[in-house]
Amino acid sequence: MNTLVRRLRTLPLRSRLALLVSVAVAVAVAAVAVTCWFITQKQLAERMDSDLQHQVGSVKSDQIVDIAQSCQSGTSSDTHPFPGPTIQVITISGQVCTSQGDAKIPVEASDLAVAAGSARSALHTTDDVDGKAMRVFTVQVFAQNDVRIPNTAVSIASPMEQITQPLTTLAWVLLAVGGIGVVGATAAGLWIARTGLRPVDQLTEAVEHVAATEDLTVRIPVEGDDEIARLSASFNSMTASLASSRELQQQLIADAGHELRTPLTSMRTNIELLTRSEETGRAIPPDDRKALMASVKAQMTELAALIGDLQELSRSGLSGTEGPLKVVSFHETARQALERARLRGPELKIVSELAPWYVRAEPAALERAIINLLDNAVKFSPRGGTIEVHLMRGALTVRDHGPGIPADELPHVFDRFWRSPTARALPGSGLGLSIVARTVESYGGEVTLAAADGGGTVATMRLPGAPTPPPDQPA
């Protein structure tokens, strides 16, 4: 059995489908044919038994009485011709008188019981002396005045070939029809498998084409709404997502190259000036040399920050998370981020009001997102300004009193490497808010930037959670 299953698995899918259809049809045809044969056999047997009972009534009673009297007297046993079925008279002693030309039928105990009067009739199947199968019906013998002739019974028999021949013919007909049906079902199964699996063939060809050429523009026509159509639609969606991901990757590389080029070019120019001064022996004035070194240091810091942001963005990937999620105290994480923000802007006043809130997140990624929001507020706040931070029911708001963001620039603030024209002179890579948006969205939340009443910008980060931790988590 296991060998057969393994061999079936090596067949092509359409061959297996056609084989399964053929087997199913063959089993159904066989079941119908066998049922039909047995029903026909039963009906023919019942019809024969009914005919035998009616034939007993149609036989002339005086002829049966003559045969019976001859049997009882012992004068003759087979000299009474009788047309039609075999007629045989039986005495209680087992003596048999059969109509002329008919082969004798062995007497059974049920026949003797009828002759003795202990049974009214008997019905059985046996073989005559010539070996022919006969259906036998035995009854008591009555004279014309309805007086029973004692110790005598009469049997009327018909050959079983009246049933077996039609049944044999029916079996051959059913076999032929079933064979034609199975062959037709096999052909239909092959056609159905070929037609039904055509979208699968298209999908296979498309996958092989993509694997060979990396062409993600391939699409499969979607017809209907069955499983094959869903599979085709899923493949189209997958290739579209991969194509979009590739475009985003290429755009990220292009943007990163563009952003890296500026500090590298400036750093190279400054280093070349310093190197040329050393090679030519022409000393650079101390103030100019100090400015060049400060510029190189600032460019290195900017380059390191940009590389760090790129690493952060690539490490978080599409999901925005770095590790497994766990219950995190949103307010405590925000409080730690505030301490770091105060170190980066000691001349600023940061006021906060943090209500308890617990979320599922990766602690380091969540703290980094909050710090990026605070850094953005610190960077654009005027010297001695105030930053207001509030956390209430999962909504963290960071409001600064800086110049604000023009309305036409708000849709682009979360794009990678995008920086406002008025802020390009300030340090930054243009990735901070993009990292914030990716991280928050991965936790099922949202982040927005809007103009604040009275000037400045308000950033809002919303995360789903609860004011108390789950019972299995410590407060």
Res 443 pLDDT > 60: yes
Is residue 451 assigned to a domain?
A: yes
Res 417 pLDDT > 70: no
Whether residue 142 sits in one domain with residue 82: yes
Whether residue 302 sits in one domain with residue 432: no
Q: Residue 395 — very low, low, confident or very high, per pLDDT cuts 50/70/90? A: very high
Q: Is the CB of residue 201 less than 8 Å from the CB of residue 221?
A: no
Is residue 426 assigned to a domain?
A: yes
Q: Residue 463 — very low, low, confident or very high, per pLDDT cuts 50/70/90? A: very high
What was the pLDDT predicted at 334? 92
- Which three-class secondary structure string do you get for 411-441? HHCCCCCCCCHHHCCCCCCCCHHHHHHHHHH
Spell out the long-range contacts of 379-385 with Cβ–Cβ below 8 A and sequence spacing 24 or more.
Answer: 379/423, 379/426, 379/427, 379/428, 380/423, 380/426, 380/457, 381/345, 381/348, 383/347, 383/348, 384/347, 384/348, 384/349, 385/348, 385/349
Domain count, the chain: 3
Q: Taking residues 104-111, what's their average pLDDT?
A: 87
Q: Residue 245 — very low, low, confident or very high, per pLDDT cuts 50/70/90? A: confident
Is residue 425 assigned to a domain?
A: yes
Q: Residue 427 — very low, low, confident or very high, per pLDDT cuts 50/70/90? A: low
What was the pLDDT predicted at 128? 84
Is residue 330 assigned to a domain?
A: yes
Between these two residues, 459 and 23, which has the higher pLDDT value? 459
Residue that is last in its domain, among 141, 161, 181: 161
What was the pLDDT predicted at 258? 60
Which of 45-49, 293-297, 366-370 has the weakest average pLDDT?
A: 293-297
Share of the chain above pLDDT 90, in %: 10
What was the pLDDT predicted at 17? 75
What was the pLDDT predicted at 357? 92
Average pLDDT across the chain, whole number: 79
Whether residue 104 sits in one domain with residue 128: yes
Beta-bridge mates of residue 397: 390, 460
Q: Taking residues 383-412, what's their average pLDDT?
A: 86
CATH number at residue 135: 3.30.450
What was the pLDDT predicted at 321? 46
Whether residue 368 sits in one domain with residue 339: yes
Q: Residue 38 — very low, low, confident or very high, per pLDDT cuts 50/70/90? A: very high
Q: Is the CB of residue 232 less than 8 Å from the CB of residue 204?
A: no
Which of 45-49, 174-178, 243-247, 399-403 has the weakest average pLDDT?
A: 243-247
Share of the chain above pLDDT 70, in %: 79
Whether residue 460 sits in one domain with residue 365: yes
Q: Taking residues 422-426, what's their average pLDDT?
A: 52
Q: Residue 35 — very low, low, confident or very high, per pLDDT cuts 50/70/90? A: very high
Res 320 pLDDT > 70: no
Q: Is the CB of residue 324 less than 8 Å from the CB of residue 426?
A: no
Whether residue 359 sits in one domain with residue 297: no
Residue 438: closest CA among 376, 366, 337, 378 = 366
What was the pLDDT predicted at 67? 65
What was the pLDDT predicted at 396? 94
Is residue 103 assigned to a domain?
A: yes
Residues of the domain holding 447: 322-466
What was the pLDDT predicted at 199? 74
Between these two residues, 288 and 59, which has the higher pLDDT value? 288
Is residue 175 assigned to a domain?
A: no
Q: Which two tokens stand for residue 233?
A: 């639609």
Whether residue 393 sits in one domain with residue 355: yes
Whether residue 239 sits in one domain with residue 111: no
Residue that is last in its domain, among 291, 314, 337: 314
Whether residue 378 sits in one domain with residue 308: no
Whether residue 308 sits in one domain with residue 356: no
Whether residue 381 sits in one domain with residue 295: no
Is residue 266 assigned to a domain?
A: yes
Is residue 42 assigned to a domain?
A: no
Residue that is last in its domain, among 298, 314, 330: 314
Whether residue 378 sits in one domain with residue 338: yes
